[in-house]
Structure 1
Amino acid sequence: MQVRIDMDGDGPILVWLRKDLRLTDNPALDAALATGRAVIPLYILDETPGVRPMGAASLWWLDKSLSALGADIDQRGGRLILRRGAAAEVLDDLIAETGAAGVVWNRLYDKASIDRDAAIKADLRGRGLACESFNASLLNEPWTVKNGSGEGYKVFTPYWRAAREHIGQVHVTPAPVALPSPAASPSSDRLSDWGLHPTRPDWSGGFSMWWPGEAGAADRLSTFLSSKIQDYADKRDIPGVEVTSLLSPHLHFGEIGPRQIWVATRAEAAAGNIPVAQADKFLSEVGWREFNHSILFHRPDIITANFRPEFDAFPWNRDDAAVAAWTGGRTGYPIVDAGMRELWATGFMHNRVRMIVASFLIKHLLIDWRQGEAWFWDTLLDADLANNVGNWQWTAGSGADAAPYFRIFNPITQGEKFDPRGVYVRRWVPELSNLPDKVIHSPWTAATHLTPAAKRTYSRPVVDHAQARQRALAAYQSLKGD
């Protein structure tokens, strides 16, 4: 339902874009256009204290995404305005410069953003300006899906069962044909002056596989639904096979929204083009993203605090050398090293491998999950705050609906199960490419097969799995007081 925005005067309306870098199905933009006024699309590289800055990989994506969005807006007669600084101050400056009568935006759900937005909204309305916010990034607002006690769900399965009932009929609005602009456009920063693309050195060469922007997001979804989803449920855990959607960076930046994914996937299933079971499995992964956003909204402290407070007493280890081996893909466990090298090279890591490498850091090395989360935040293109924190806490056992403490992934058997022919490992750990399949996940047992380069450069395991497992179990048992 379209929200009516009542404004005095004849000034333009500012559309403050954040994690919604698209023109299709953008409720704030649609509401602004419905006023019949000139619109000023605005992106602020926000420097509000307390709002977590993006990591380096995300800044690379933002650079390309804003460039694509600016071109899309130009084609419709508008202009994307770029400004840098604390959001409230930037908005005040633009209101003064343009005589804007109102500001609209789409919501974010972490506490720092909520507090910032609430203060800005109260200030603007107190000064007689119109200000409205909308939902562009979730199927359900986090406060709408509650359990029988009126609280947010803490377990995914009942959450998703209830959430599906709340979704109802989903509508997607098309991108506008034209964007009416004010007669005089305000000044804009030059995107190149923001220095978002790394230069010293430029480590993003492997990111060329990505196509940031709304068109790239649409292409990813189309390709997935037409050629990959048929095998999704059966092969999504096999990192050497490309059957996942690769939509997560696009979702993170709002180049595509979950409503678009929901409508397109359900339509293909209804038409008989894809099996319903495959569609449901894929949409449940969208549901996991929704669940993490709900958890973050109801428990905003989990960005740095354990969801389960008993984990505050966990005996974390301090081992900088082990962390360096993990971040550098030099642990001596091929599936772990392959994942960490994929991440560094491409800004992405296969989801099954994310669980393996996170479990290894936490349970084999006993390193605090917050250190792993920080590394992912800086190096992942899809470093979504709710998902990143939620998934790391899930792996640690400290989060909502967490993995049981005794689930300690064996990196050898995980590799043998999900990469049995070593396709993934051979791609990312090429010094092991000559090893037979049966030993590629335990190369220290096959010295005669190792190339001279592998003998020189590939490490023996930084920890013994059996010993590390026992150490981890003892650490987890200490929380139980047994």
Structure 2
Amino acid sequence: MRKPSVNIFWFRRDLRLDDNKGLQEALKGNLPVLPIFIFDKNILNKLPKNDARVTFIHDRITKMREELQTSYGSSLGVYHDTPVNVFSSLLEDFEIEAVFTNHDYEPYAERRDNQVYDLFEQEYIEFNSFKDQVIFEKSEVVKDDGDPYVVYTPYMKKWKQTLGDTLPEIFEIPPYGDNFLKISELPFCSLEEIGFTRSDIEVPDYDLDPQLIRDYENSRNFPAKEGTSRIGPHLRFGTIGIRSVYRKAMAEKNETFLNELIWREFFMQILWHFPHTRKESFKKKYDRIAWRNNEKEFEQWCKGCTGYPLVDAGMRELNATGYMHNRVRMLVASFLCKHLLIDWRWGEAYFAEKLLDYEMSSNVGNWQWAAGSGVDAAPYFRIFNPITQVSKFDKDHKYIKKWVPEYDSDNYVTPIVDHKEARERCLATYKEAVS
């Protein structure tokens, strides 16, 4: 019996059926499109078995599968293996002419795509990948001499100039047709079958209400307020298209909100141009810092038991919800690196495990910013004061009391380090390393 000829669309960080560039291109073709998702063992094997992000992904692809079945008479094949093994298996059942997907820029993703490309080349399969999770990628926004920007503000200005030169077509993805493979039975894996259990932590819906965007700069710094969009996980996994988000930001003419989105692309192009920064300081001399790396103090920081209430509230919020307010993220990162002199890589790895919106480029970029070792970083002598940060951003202690109920009682832990002494120790240690 002759195998059916198909094109494949491979969902990865683009878990939506609308406003999806690679899916649109796949559906333009002459062959029916078989949609698939792969729970990649190379990634899953490193995650906790109740990882909330895996639950979120599984719920999302379940909904997409149901929509494909109901609206298109198609389905979504869900596999649990390495991508090379999955595609080798699919070749036994289908004559695959081309595979379509969207770009992923992280170091593992590039290695993975090179591996499947080698397989496709052997089997004479076209591999087509498209820009979808950003407006500008790689070297699309660089200096006039072609070098990448390593300072945010000139990058941001060039980004906006480049956008102005390409509007409106950059935001337009025309409606695409119903060229899905008509098939009802495709493999599907339950959470249990991929070795996971349902997490108690849920990814909240995002809020892109026009009023929230308009009020963004007035409310975004106060963790007790619901002043942020919570869009991070949805951008990370592509449950909303980046073009839709930019359209909303530009409709409200809010430069602060728009600039935060541009920071995301700034850090993505930094990681792409300088992949070594995933593990090494961008400013090499900062790898000479004599970190104390006290394991007990690190554990107290992780648990939110440092004796500094805004730091502790942030860490407890992270542990309980997978989220931490951005203002507090800066403080807890600075506290770990500067007050405790613990290597930024320890904190980056902990955030990578806990954050629902974990994005390697932003996480590495922001941790290196806090440590002073990255691009456009805060100078090493800038050390957040965890006491005055409370009076600036949580003066009524609403956020603190929510997450540290024993605050202001005899049950609250004493500070693990004196602020003044820690500051002086940090300045001396950094100065010795970078001078």
Give the TM interval when normalised to the shorter protein: over 0.9
**2:412 maps to 1:465:** no
**2:24 maps to 1:27:** no
- Name the counterpart of 2:270: 295
Aligned with 1:68 (options 37, 51, 63): 63
Q: Secondary structure at the match of 1:430?
A: coil
- Name the counterpart of 1:17: 11
Determine if contact 1:22/1:256 at 8 Å carries over to the other structure: yes
Distance 1:243 1:184, change over 3 A: closer
Q: 1:120-147, CA deviations, whole angstroms, 9 ceiling, x for partnerless residues? A: 2244134321210001101102221111
Q: Distance in 1 between matches of 2:46 and 2:143?
A: 33
Distance 1:105 1:115, change over 3 A: same
- Name the counterpart of 2:430: 476
Q: Distance in 2 between matches of 1:176 and 1:360?
A: 49
**2:244 maps to 1:260:** yes
Superposition TM-score, scaled by structure 2 size? 0.92
Q: 1:316-341, CA deviations, whole angstroms, 9 ceiling, x for partnerless residues? A: 11211111111111110110010011
How many residues in Structure 1 have an aligned counterpart in Structure 2? 426
Q: Distance in 2 between matches of 1:332 and 1:192?
A: 39
Q: Distance in 1 between matches of 2:237 and 2:119?
A: 27
Gaps of at least 5 residues in structure 2 are none
- Name the counterpart of 2:33: 39
Q: Secondary structure at the match of 2:171?
A: coil
1:23-422 pair list within 5 angstroms: 23-48=17-42, 53=46, 56-76=51-71, 77-167=73-163, 168-169=166-167, 170-173=170-173, 178=178, 180-183=180-183, 185-198=185-198, 204=200, 207-208=201-202, 210-211=203-204, 216=205, 220=206, 223-266=207-250, 268-269=251-252, 276=253, 279-422=254-397
Q: Distance in 1 between matches of 2:18 and 2:76?
A: 16
Q: Distance in 2 between matches of 1:191 and 1:257?
A: 26
Distance 1:10 1:165, change over 3 A: farther
Distance 1:150 1:26, change over 3 A: same
Determine if contact 1:38/1:181 at 8 Å carries over to the other structure: yes
Q: CA deviation at 1:240?
A: 0.9
Determine if contact 1:82/1:191 at 8 Å carries over to the other structure: no
Q: 1:327-375, CA deviations, whole angstroms, 9 ceiling, x for partnerless residues? A: 1111101100100111111110000000000111111100111110111
What RMSD over aligned residues (CA atoms) do the two structures have, in Å?
2.1
Determine if contact 1:331/1:462 at 8 Å carries over to the other structure: yes
Determine if contact 1:82/1:190 at 8 Å carries over to the other structure: no
Q: Secondary structure at the match of 1:362?
A: helix
Determine if contact 1:61/1:381 at 8 Å carries over to the other structure: no
Comparing 352-361 with 256-265, greater Cα deviation is found at 256-265
Distance 1:123 1:194, change over 3 A: closer
Q: Secondary structure at the match of 1:42?
A: strand
Q: Distance in 1 between matches of 2:45 and 2:19?
A: 26
Determine if contact 2:191/2:197 at 8 Å carries over to the other structure: no
Q: Distance in 2 between matches of 1:74 and 1:343?
A: 37
Q: CA deviation at 1:185?
A: 4.4
Determine if contact 2:210/2:248 at 8 Å carries over to the other structure: no
Determine if contact 1:228/1:243 at 8 Å carries over to the other structure: yes
Q: Distance in 2 between matches of 1:175 and 1:429?
A: 49
- Whichever residue aligns with residue 29 of structure 1, its letter is L
- Name the counterpart of 1:446: none
Distance 1:430 1:177, change over 3 A: farther
Q: CA deviation at 1:175?
A: 6.7
Q: Secondary structure at the match of 1:12?
A: strand
- Whichever residue aligns with residue 71 of structure 1, its letter is E
Q: Secondary structure at the match of 2:304?
A: coil
Q: 1:51-72, CA deviations, whole angstroms, 9 ceiling, x for partnerless residues? A: 9955634223223222232233
Q: 1:234-282, CA deviations, whole angstroms, 9 ceiling, x for partnerless residues? A: 221111111111100100111112211112222x33xxxxxx3xx2110
- Whichever residue aligns with residue 463 of structure 1, its letter is V
Q: Distance in 1 between matches of 2:185 and 2:176?
A: 19
Q: Secondary structure at the match of 1:100?
A: strand
Determine if contact 1:98/1:186 at 8 Å carries over to the other structure: no
- Whichever residue aligns with residue 100 of structure 1, its letter is I
Q: Secondary structure at the match of 1:21?
A: coil
Q: CA deviation at 1:174?
A: 6.4
Distance 1:196 1:227, change over 3 A: farther
Q: Distance in 2 between matches of 1:163 and 1:256?
A: 21
